[in-house]
Amino acid sequence: MKWINDSSALLIVDVQNDFIPGGELAVREGDQIVSVINELQNKFKHLIATQDFHPDDHGSFAANHPNRKPGEFVELAGLTQILWPVHCVQGTIGASFHPDLNQSQWKAIFQKGKNPEVDSYSGFFDNARRGDTGLGDYLKSIGVERVFVCGLALDYCVKFTALDAKSLGFETFLIADATRAVNLNPDDGELAIAEMEAVGIGILTSKDL
């Protein structure tokens, strides 16, 4: 099967400094995917990135809830919300893309998480599905039918971006060696892959492409 054609897009999810080892919400081995993604970009006509871009008063930050710590749960926008360390705040180095990530051929960047009242894991919608980034309409406007998802983190933003892509009718694939998991629980990454497979998302590696 010829996986990649002119109607294919690579979605690069949140490869930002705060998700890299040394960042505020570091994903173990997150830096190791950068070279893989840079190599992948050479194969695609359409390169689109997402960027976590929070105001400093975001409701998902434990620091904005008195006597609360990261890992605890609150209600946000009517949803159960896990609290995170302050991360990817607009205008900070932590919100910037990894400096070694090649951005030269990107067609567009879609920012998410800007509404302080609801978190946004997916590159398409906020977690309450009340806000739309415009990514889905953009992909359709440039003729994309098949999306390949990579980036950080597998068990949150990558998973929900892939699930939403599939729900919007795109043929969707995860590039498994171009992502890493937070793994708050040790098997969260594996469970995320199983959840994606269960709805028909293809699981590939960069070598398959």
Active site residues: 14, 112, 157
Q: How many CB atoms lie within 10 A of CB 91?
A: 10
